[in-house]
Amino acid sequence: MMLRTDKLSKRLGSFSLREISLEVARGDYYVLLGRSGAGKTQLLELICGLTSPGSGRVFLEGEDITWKKPQERGIGLVFQDLALFPHYSVKDNIMYPLRMRDLTLKERVDRVQHAAAEMNITDLLLRKPDTLSGGEKQRVALARTLVTEPRILLLDEPMASVDASLKDNIRRMLRRLNRNGLTIVHVTHDFGEAISLATRVGVMHNGRIIQEGTPAEVFNQPVNRFVARYAGIKNFFRVTFITSYNRASGITEKRTRFRLPKGIYPSAGLLIIGSSEVLLSRQGAAGIQINNIHGVIDDIVPSPTGYEITVNAGDYFYADITHREMEENNFVTGEKVIVSFRPESLRLVGEGEDKKEY
Amino acid sequence: MKGHSLFHWVFTILASLVLLFIIAPLAGMFLDSSLTEVRTTAADPDVIRSVWYTLAVAFAATLLFAVGAVPLSWIMARREFPLKKVVQGIIDLPVVLPHTAAGIALLGFISREGLLGGAAKKAGILLVNNGAGIALAMAFVSLPFLINAARDGFAAVPERTEKAALTLGASPSRIFFTVSLPQAWRSVVSGFIMMFARGMSEFGAVVIIAYHPMTAPVLIYDRFNTYGLTSARPASIIFILVALFFFILFRVLATEKREIFRREDDATD
């Protein structure tokens, strides 16, 4: 195991990190996903030793580094605001960590040149940070950290200061670093970033890691509404489960009834369904005999792939429809429609967190 | 003028009155003194000696106390500790104290019977009526200017750059000299110049500690008491001109130094 934290806790004013235990294997690309204020940056600073924990321990390659000085940990951290030294040139920024090492001038210069070539910033070496774009600064900050040959690289929102058009470049670069064997812990609030880079994902909320696993595990089997929302799911229904005539159903407080596939269900829980799996029609969708729910179109909003339609059926449903479907059906606000979906589209989300916090 | 409100005119007039209040006495002093008087006074060895002496002692005091004042300002900018506000109050105290009272307090401390004076006496140094005592008096009243300016400079340094240096393997002392101080340099130099300027113009505390050797402000006071306004005026003009010259010179040098740093940076690239 490359990095392991054992019940790491820290109180920071009214906020606290609570018993964070995470494991990052050698070569993993671990994405820590959470909203701002979830405690992601504080966790990185604890791992780096920039702040000390109230309790718990940090292990790096099996060694307990909880109380080791940050400058002796061999952990590379790239801050969200990059923290380049404004009074140094790009070259001197990258050279900075090498000045503390027992290297000849030639070795230092060679390492700077190599890192600059790797990050494609050779032509920026004489510039000052305040003359660089967000993407260039990002690459300089990465080069400055990578020359230290860190045992593990921690990235705090690395795409935050990068133009959308350059994000792909940075993503490719990070993937390449990881492929070359560098273990990376990457903090972000962006679900897309997590999906595109992670080999493992941890979802953080209110100072705790609430779910951990591969991206497929986390996004296909979210443990609660918060994680599901990250996966782009909007249709959540708190239901009570009942069985009648050997058939399971979930019933919401507003009396919406969901017919479920055969299975074992708790007495109550949260059902989710992807917006793309919700079908809209005027007569009921072809081939769907059950789960046809009457409602009224409440709102129609353009989306990147077509439209998102909100239907008020007592409970609210969100349906994604394509431009072609819209042209064929010409739905309008206020119109009566039937919301349909297959029982297999319904997923039961784990409980626990939800009961308390949502 | 079209477009300017009554508010604009009232503020312009009030601001001009304040500026006039500063300029008028100084201009009057220059206009009331003849060039011959100034030339004669400039040739007076007592005047020349006291001006140089004042500059040298003020500079030495500033330099010496900067060694402790700069770390103190960094602590005030970066560390949280109990009674921090009380410490800030102590730093600002010399600004609000009557300077003669500060001189009296300091005299008790550095006289032969005082804590510091007693220790210095054992080492064979007398602090009263001596350059060392004058330097202490100048430093006592002018230290807040350096500490507060440098503190604001350090506070403005992004803390993340210091944290980044730490993760890159730098020790705290290296971070101070390579990351914090270079970024706060402008404020530290500005505070240094203000402390120097305030120290050399100090009269109240200095006159209590040492009438002799005479600093320029004490000499001007002495001339005024002994010979009157006409005799004190040319000495004042000379001191003001010399002080202004050095004040401007240090500011220019500080700017030049930054430029040199920049050029050296580029040269190493």
Per-residue model confidence as pLDDT tens digits over B228-263 = 998 899 999 999 999 889 888 887 877 765 555 554
A15 lies within 8 A of chain B by CB: no
Percent of chain B predicted with pLDDT > 90: 70
Provide the pLDDT for residue B1.
Answer: 52
The two structure tokens encoding residue B247? 């004040």
Contact by Cβ (8 Å): B223, B57:
no
Residue A320 forms beta bridges with which residues? A308
Distance between CA atoms of residues A186 and A78, nearest Å: 10
CB burial string A142-159: b at 16+ within 10 A, e below: bbbbbbbebbbbbbbbbb
Torsional sign, CA A321, A324, A326, A329: negative
Percent of chain B predicted with pLDDT > 70: 94
Distance between CA atoms of residues A31 and A154, nearest Å: 10
Residues of chain A in contact with residue B171, where contact means CB-CB under 8 angstroms, are: 71, 100
Residue B121's CB is within 10 A of a number of other CB atoms, namely 16
Distance between CA atoms of residues A148 and A108, nearest Å: 11
Reported as a single tens digit per residue, the pLDDT across B28-41 is 888 888 888 899 99
Distance between CA atoms of residues A20 and A217, nearest Å: 20
B80 lies within 8 A of chain A by CB: no
Q: Which of B167, B261, B268 sits opposite A70 (nearest CB)?
A: B167
Instruction: Give me the interface pTM, i.e. the ipTM.
Output: 0.78
B182 lies within 8 A of chain A by CB: yes
The two structure tokens encoding residue A297? 């179109």
Each residue's pLDDT tens digit in chain A (358 positions)? 899 999 999 998 888 999 999 999 999 999 999 888 888 999 999 999 999 999 999 999 999 999 999 999 999 999 999 999 999 999 999 999 999 999 999 999 999 999 999 999 999 999 999 999 988 999 999 999 999 999 999 999 998 878 777 888 888 889 999 999 999 999 998 887 888 889 999 999 889 999 999 888 887 778 887 888 777 788 888 888 888 777 888 999 999 999 988 877 888 888 889 888 999 998 877 777 789 999 999 999 998 889 999 999 999 999 999 999 999 899 999 999 999 998 888 888 765 333 333 3
- CB pair distance less than 8 Å for A100 and B174: yes
Number of A to B CB contacts under 8 A, please give it.
Answer: 72
Reported as a single tens digit per residue, the pLDDT across B109-147 is 988 888 888 888 888 887 888 899 999 999 999 999 999
The two structure tokens encoding residue B156? 């403005």
Distance between CA atoms of residues A39 and A27, nearest Å: 24
Distance between CA atoms of residues B217 and B27, nearest Å: 19
- A299 sits in which H/E element: strand A292-303
Provide the pLDDT for residue A70.
Answer: 93
Phi, psi values for residue A45, rounded to 5°? -65, -30
Residues of chain A in contact with residue B164, where contact means CB-CB under 8 angstroms, are: 77, 79, 83-85
Burial class (CB in 10 A: 0-12, 13-18, 19+), B164: buried
Q: CB neighbours of B241 closer than 8 A, spacing ≥ 6?
A: none
pLDDT class of B264 with cuts at 50, 70, 90: very low
**Of the candidates B150, B261, B233, B232, which has an alpha carbon nearest to the alpha carbon of residue B195?**
B150
Q: Which of B163, B170, B265 sits opposite A100 (nearest CB)?
A: B170
Whether residue B79 is predicted with pLDDT greater than 90 in this model: the reply is: yes
- CB pair distance less than 8 Å for B183 and A87: yes
Tell me which residues of chain A, numbers 139 to 168, contact chain B at a CB-CB cutoff of 8 Å.
144-145, 148
Distance between CA atoms of residues A273 and A271, nearest Å: 7
B63 lies within 8 A of chain A by CB: no
Distance between CA atoms of residues A266 and B162, nearest Å: 53
- The pTM assigned to this predicted structure is 0.79
Residues of chain B in contact with residue A48, where contact means CB-CB under 8 angstroms, are: 167
